Structure 1
């Protein structure tokens, strides 16, 4: 017995609705899957780009440090040695009989040559700190503090708790950061009488802090080339840079933190 037309139509309608629901569900699943794949691909591209930028930054820093090392050694071994030799010859000439004018002139030349030797050594160390490669980061920072104290601008103190050294590349980057932070403090910390440099290691966490007791600065200081250089090196170390400035008269505190990978 044939089914009534209404039943057949209802079955056909339900079949059509079921098919449409199935098609719609398949389309939704396809779109969701496609969207996930697209997001995953975009994430991979971003990660690859970030890794490329990191490698590029590292290569740039390494190239700069290599050039600084070469120039520093050329200054020390070439010009520095020549000037030192000239100074020794002048010392010998001073012991020979001569007029008072000649003696005064030789004394003046010796003073000039002494100043030149000191300046060459200072530039050489600034370009490439040999003490860092020989004795490590703590000693290099101590030398930086000693040189800074010679300027007489303010009292600079170093506090260290650094039991486990890092790789040379990491220590060099941290030294450059400390060097720039100290230079900025000496230049911009108006009214400061004391500058404290801290290198503290607690487990895997390492913190480099440069703090002054000057007038401080506003919440949004300009970013010069020095600060950008610091940020690049902090990024290369996969660390964090935190800048704290209190109210007027409470000074400025710059903190660099990173998770260490001992060398």
Structure 2
């Protein structure tokens, strides 16, 4: 009589243990599933926030570029045409029999007007590089280098290996980055005798490099404060989902590198 009772008790005990193990396993599975779902939701929120930030940055920069394009077109078509017409009229007046003083004055006015036309065209290109929209990033960088070399401030060498053009919006952002880097180097590269601008494309990796051979600053010293120009560069690099590397070398200048990798997209 005792044995059957013991067997029933053992069965009940094993059944209870099995039930508790099953309940514990179900709880673990529930917690794991809940944790994964929570992680997916958090990842989705972060991705949505990052997408929103990129869209916001793109909208801000697009608005800026649109305004620059409008101003540049107005300068070129309005003021530039007016000054060019005035120059033609002065050339016409020069064919009349003037006095010797009038001839000198006319020559001076013609030189001033020529300089004004050049300045207006430079401002127009700075606001919106028409050569970029027409011929692409490589030609726009070449034009930027040619115009900068005309100042005689610092010789600039351009090296381009760019076989697969990017969409216009990305090329425009890269051009603005290059423009700002060249401007910064011309302004801050003390003691430099050469400036290298390099656009190199290899597979999915596109690299824009601007390097000077100025005095630079020691690696263990504090870098210069981030001005508006560098912040603008960082915003555009972030919009392009790229990477910005700043490599100062003591006594050997500063190297700025922007990398875009399509395989990371």
Partner residue, 2:253:
251
Q: What is the correspondence of 1:224-243 to structure 2 with a 5 Å cutoff?
A: 224-243=227-246
Partner residue, 2:150:
150
Q: Which moved more, 1:158-167 or 1:121-130?
A: 158-167
Deviation at 1:31, TM superposition (A): 2.2
Structure 2: segments with no counterpart, 5+ residues: none
Q: Which moved more, 1:24-33 or 1:145-154?
A: 24-33
Deviation at 1:4, TM superposition (A): 8.9
TM-score, scaled to structure 2 = 0.88
Q: Secondary structure at the match of 1:206?
A: strand
Cα distance in 1 for partners of 2:23, 2:166 equals 60
Cα distance in 2 for partners of 1:204, 1:25 equals 47
Partner residue, 2:51:
51
Deviation at 1:202, TM superposition (A): 1.8
Aligned residues between the structures: 260
Partner residue, 2:160:
160
Deviation at 1:16, TM superposition (A): 5.0
Deviation at 1:9, TM superposition (A): 6.8
TM-score, scaled to structure 1 = 0.89
Q: Secondary structure at the match of 1:34?
A: helix
Cα distance in 2 for partners of 1:110, 1:218 equals 49
Q: Which moved more, 1:181-190 or 1:209-218?
A: 209-218
Q: What is the correspondence of 1:3-42 to structure 2 with a 5 Å cutoff?
A: 16=16, 18-42=18-42
Q: Secondary structure at the match of 2:215?
A: coil
Compared CA separation, residues 32 and 175, structure 1 to 2 (3 A): same
Structure 1: segments with no counterpart, 5+ residues: none
Answer yes or no: is the 8 Å Cα contact 1:166–1:260 preserved in 2.
no
Compared CA separation, residues 13 and 61, structure 1 to 2 (3 A): same
Q: Which moved more, 1:208-217 or 1:21-30?
A: 21-30
Cα distance in 1 for partners of 2:2, 2:172 equals 92
Cα distance in 2 for partners of 1:243, 1:90 equals 51
Partner residue, 2:211:
211
Cα distance in 2 for partners of 1:210, 1:177 equals 10
Partner residue, 1:175:
175
Deviation at 1:82, TM superposition (A): 0.4
Q: Secondary structure at the match of 2:159?
A: strand
Deviation at 1:92, TM superposition (A): 1.4
